[in-house]
Amino acid sequence: MTEAAERPSRAREAFFGRLKGPRLRPGQAALLAEALPGLRLDLSEPAPADLAPLFGVPVRAVRLEIGFGGGEHLHAEAARRPEVGFIGIEPFVNGMAKLLARLAEQPLANLRLFDDDAVRVLDWLPDASLEEIDLLYPDPWPKRRHWKRRFVGEGNLDRFARVLAPGGRFCFASDIDTYVDWTLQHCARHPAFDWTARRPADWTEPFADWPGTRYEAKALREGRPPAYLTFLRR
């Protein structure tokens, strides 16, 4: 596989940063070449009205995780909820390789993947097709000139509102206060979402059955308490 072939495209102004880190080990490169094609969503055809046939087992609902990092949360949730189909998106090649290594040890039939811009998947999905969208520790783009690249914004919230079923959840976690405030402000202004918090513990305690992520562990080591926000689709 050539460098150009294995690198995801960036046709749009991307919401994600670098695409590749340290050089992949031969086993990781082999997983990307051999295992990923069978799990990758094919966006060249219109999305089916019912997403359940995308998965190798019967599923009653579908969830989407945007930017899964090393895949700790995504793999744990998909293993815990075999009756739910999961779509995981991660354009960072090394993160995708880490998840594929986990799947080589513990395969999951209720999981599909995509290694490019999440906006492409959101625009491909049919209306009201998702039970939940997870956006966990996204790149905060802290410099003001980069704020337009934060994934939470009016355009993407419109996309979330279209693909989430009524009563569906948008779950957001971050250890960056300014991004937490940004997300609260944008969701408060959007007519499709209600914040579920009624007491401080509702946003300072992790989500139910939370397996954690390596980003969360790093934040806690460095003294940055995370926030966990849940919004319901009206």
Q: How many angstroms separate the CA atoms of 118 and 184, rounded? A: 21
Which pair of tokens denotes residue 83? Answer: 């009756």
> In 10 A of CB 26, how many CB atoms?
7
Are 117 and 15 contacting, i.e. CB atoms less than 8 angstroms apart? yes
Are 168 and 233 contacting, i.e. CB atoms less than 8 angstroms apart? yes
Q: How far is CA 21 from CA 24, 73, 93, 97, 184, in A?
A: 8, 21, 7, 11, 31
Q: How many angstroms separate the CA atoms of 154 and 151, rounded? A: 9
Q: Which helix (H) or strand (E) holds 9?
A: none
Q: How many angstroms separate the CA atoms of 206 and 229, rounded? A: 9
Known catalytic membership, residue 139: yes
Are 157 and 193 contacting, i.e. CB atoms less than 8 angstroms apart? yes
Whose CA is closest to 196, among 234, 162, 225? Answer: 234
Residue of 139, 177, 181, 202 marked catalytic: 139
Residue positions annotated with a catalytic role: 139
